[in-house]
């Protein structure tokens, strides 16, 4: 059911994901194509805000800040998996994997490699501080428009 807090959460987490993706770009290896990295991350943030944070409002500002942190982590995991799957698919077209099991394991290896880029202070700061702030703002929106 669409509600104002879900919309606020979706928009806030889409913005956080976009900012985190932009903060992550300087950490990536030289010459790595970023293409649709920020828009895809923002789409994941939009869905995470709507589905995760949007349904957790109504428990107070401090718990919602924690729920915002949880939403940022959920968003990060999905973005890592999406881009791990993308890189695995590119690797399979170049015959880099001996079989399907090795390709599936490759998804998690690549996602783990990308997770190291997310540990940069700028990226982690956007995700942690932004997630907590967005969670609190979503709670305030729920109080205002419920």
| Token pair of 106 as six digits | 């490759």
Q: What is the pLDDT of residue 29?
A: 80
Greater confidence (72 vs 100) lies with 72
Residue 67, C-beta contacts closer than 8 angstroms, at least 6 positions apart: 52, 53, 56, 57, 59, 135
Q: What is the pLDDT of residue 71?
A: 96
pLDDT-above-90 percentage for the chain: 52
- Over residues 40-52, the pLDDT tens digits come to 999 999 999 999 9
- Over residues 12-25, the pLDDT tens digits come to 999 999 999 999 98
Residue 66, C-beta contacts closer than 8 angstroms, at least 6 positions apart: 132, 135
Angle between helices 121-145 and 4-24 (to 10 degrees): 170
Q: DSSP per residue over 74-124, as a string? A: HHHHHHHHHHHHHHHHHHHHTT--SSHHHHHHHHHHHHHHHHHHTTSHHHH
- Over residues 75-130, the pLDDT tens digits come to 999 999 998 898 888 888 888 888 889 888 888 998 998 899 888 999 999 999 99
Q: What is the pLDDT of residue 28?
A: 82
Q: Is pTM, for the whole model, over 0.85? A: yes
The pLDDT of 47-70, averaged and rounded, is 91
What is the rounded distance in angstroms from the CA atom of residue 76 to the CA atom of residue 144? 29
* Out of 58-72, 98-112, 131-145, least confident range: 98-112
Q: What is the pLDDT of residue 135?
A: 94
Residue 62, C-beta contacts closer than 8 angstroms, at least 6 positions apart: 136
| Token pair of 10 as six digits | 């979706």
pLDDT band, residue 33 (cuts 50/70/90): confident
């Amino acid at each position: 059911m669409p509600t104002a807090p879900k919309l606020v959460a979706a928009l806030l987490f889409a913005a956080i994901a976009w900012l985190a993706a932009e903060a992550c770009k300087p950490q990536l290896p030289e010459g790595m194509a970023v293409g649709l990295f920020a828009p895809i991350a923002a789409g994941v943030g939009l869905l995470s805000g709507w589905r995760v944070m949007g349904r957790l409002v109504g428990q107070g500002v401090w718990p919602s800040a924690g729920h915002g942190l949880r939403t940022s982590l959920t968003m990060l995991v999905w973005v890592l998996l999406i881009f791990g799957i993308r890189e695995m698919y590119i690797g399979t077209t170049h015959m880099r994997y001996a079989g399907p099991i090795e390709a599936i394991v490759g998804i998690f290896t690549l996602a783990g490699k990308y997770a190291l880029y997310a540990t940069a202070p700028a990226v982690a700061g956007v995700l942690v501080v932004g997630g907590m702030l967005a969670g609190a703002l979503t709670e305030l929106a729920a109080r205002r428009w419920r």
